[in-house]
Amino acid sequence: MQWSRYNTLFRSDLGRFCYSSLSNTLLELDEIHYALLEACQRGHELSGARNNGFFGLLREKYMLVEAEEEDGLLLARHYRRQALAFETSTLRLTVCPTLRCNFRCSYCFQDSQQDGLFMNAKTQERLVEWIKEQATSPKIPGKAGIRALAVAWYGGEPLLAFETIRSLSERFLALDLSYEKAVLVTNGYLLDREKIARLNDLRIGIVQITLDGPPEMHDARRVLADGGPTFSRILGNVEALMESDYAGMCSIRVNVDKRNAEGFLALREELLVRFRGKNVSVSPARVDVMGGSTCDGGCRMDTEEWTDFGLELARRHGVLPAWGLHPLDQEPLCVAGSSRSFVLGPEGELYKCWDDAGRPGMVVGSIHAPDTITDAVLTAQYSTGVDPYSDPECRACVVLPICGGGCPHRRLLAKYRGQEGARRCSPYKTRLRDYLEAYIDTLRTREICATLLKAGATATGKTRTGYRVISPAAARKPENEERA
C-alpha cells in the first residue's frame, strides 16, 4: 500500500486533518493517528494496522492505494463523465428568442445588445419540429430518442419577446415529452403583473433576476439604453412576483466586482428581511468577461480575490456559498460538453455555451440544416478536445477529482483560440486548505451550539477512536450558474 498523491495532510489551529480529493473525504485525527499518516506520507508502512478499523477506513477512502490504482480510478471517473456527456435521454435547450437587450450594463460581454432580430414564426415552427425529430430519429447510431426536454429562457433580454416564450412554452408542453420546469433569466425590468400571472401556466419554475448592489450602485451600472435607472422598478417587480400566486423560486443574483463588493451584504440583508418567508435566494456572482476583454474597466476580481471575498463572507458574516464550503461529492459537468445540450439563437443557430450566443464564429449548427451540426470540429472541441482527463497537466493536479477541469469555454479559448489568459483553474488548486479550514470552523460552531443547547450528539460527533470522518453526509450540488 502507498500514500495517495491526492491526499492533503495538514495541521492548523483547529486540529489535525487529512483530506482525499479522490474520495472527497475529510478526516479529523488525534496526534497518534496524525503521526501514523505522516509516516505513511514518508513511505513507511502502517505496521500492524492492516486488520484494524483505521487501516480499513484509509483503504475505503483511497488514502492508501495499491500501485497504479489511482490511474484506474481516474479512468473510471473519466468513463462516468463521458457517459454523462453522451447521455441522450434529455434535450437541454437554452433558448434566446432575441439577442436584443433593453439594458446597457457597463461590463456586459455581449456585443449583440442592439441586434433587433427576434425569432420569427418560421423558426419557431421549425424548432418544434426539430425537437420532435430528436425524439423519433436522433441520428445517433445505437441511441434512443429523447424522452425529456429542459428549457432555459435567455437573451439578450428574453422578456422583450415574451409572446414567443408564451407560444413556444405552450407548444413544448403539448409534446409527448417529460417537460422539466423551465428557468427564466431576466434583468427583471419588464416582469410586470401580466407576465407574472402566466409563469405557472408556462411551467417556469425559477426566475433569475440580477441586481448589482444597493440602488446607487446598481443604477450606476445596470442602466437602460437611454441611461435611465432600473433598481426601483426591478425591486417592485420582484415584490409583485412574491405577492402573486407564483409557485416557483426567485433567485436574485448580485453581480460583484471590486467596485461594488462592499455593497453586497447590505443588499442581501435588506432583501432577506423584505422577503422573509418567501421562496427567494440571494447570492453573489463574480462579474466575468471572456477572451481577455476589458469591458469591465479592469475591476474584475481574479480567482484569488474572489476566493478571499467568499471566504470572508463565510468566516466573518456566516454567508456560505450555495453549495457550502466542503467540495462537492460529484464533479460538475457543464452543459457545453453535453451532446444533447445547445444554446439556440433567434435565427435557429446553435451554440454550445451561453457565452457564445451572438458570436458567428462560435456557431456549431442550425436547426434549419439537414444534419443540424455544421461545425463538427468546434462541437468535438467542446465535447472531447477540452476534456481534463486527457490533459497531462490536469491529470497531475491533486484537485482534478473535485474540480472537473473548470470552465470548458475558457479551456477552449486557451487551447484552440490562442487566448491563454482565458484559462482559469479552480480555486481549490491553490486554496483547498483555506476552504477546508473554513468548513471545519463552521462545523465546530454547529457542534458547540448543539452541545450548549443540549441537542444531543451530531452525525459528526466526537468518537473515542482518535479519528473521525467529518465530511458532510451528502454535499449539495450547485445549480447551474446562470448569467444575465
Percentage of the chain with pLDDT > 90? 74
Task: Name 249's Cβ contacts closer than 8 Å, sequence gap at least 6.
Answer: 205, 206, 207, 279, 280, 281
Flag whether pLDDT at 114 surpasses 70. Answer: no
Flag whether pLDDT at 252 surpasses 70. Answer: yes
Stretch 2-31: mean pLDDT: 96
- Is 195:159 a contact under the CB 8 Å cutoff? yes
pLDDT at 239: 98
Flag whether pLDDT at 453 surpasses 80. Answer: no
Stretch 169-192: mean pLDDT: 97
Stretch 31-49: mean pLDDT: 86
pLDDT at 296: 52
Stretch 422-450: mean pLDDT: 91
Confidence grade of residue 448 (pLDDT, cut at 50, 70, 90) = confident
Residue 25 and residue 7: Cα distance in Å, rounded? 10
Superfamily per CATH, domain 82-377: Aldolase class I (3.20.20.70)
pLDDT at 1: 85
Stretch 104-120: mean pLDDT: 74
C-beta atoms surrounding 16 within 10 Å: 20
Flag whether pLDDT at 385 surpasses 60. Answer: yes
Flag whether pLDDT at 328 surpasses 90. Answer: no
Q: Give a three-class secondary structure readout of 430-479.
A: HHHHHHHHHHHHHHHHHHHHHHHCCCCCCCCCCCCCCEEECCCCCCCCCC
Q: Which residue intervals of 259-407 are DSSP H helices?
A: 264-274, 303-317, 376-380, 392-395, 400-403
pLDDT at 111: 54
Flag whether pLDDT at 60 surpasses 50. Answer: yes
Map out the domains of the chain as residue ranges. Answer: 1-65+451-484, 82-377
Residue 215 and residue 231: Cα distance in Å, rounded? 6
Confidence grade of residue 145 (pLDDT, cut at 50, 70, 90) = confident
Residue with more model confidence, 76 or 115: 76
pLDDT at 143: 60
Task: State the average pLDDT for the chain.
Answer: 89
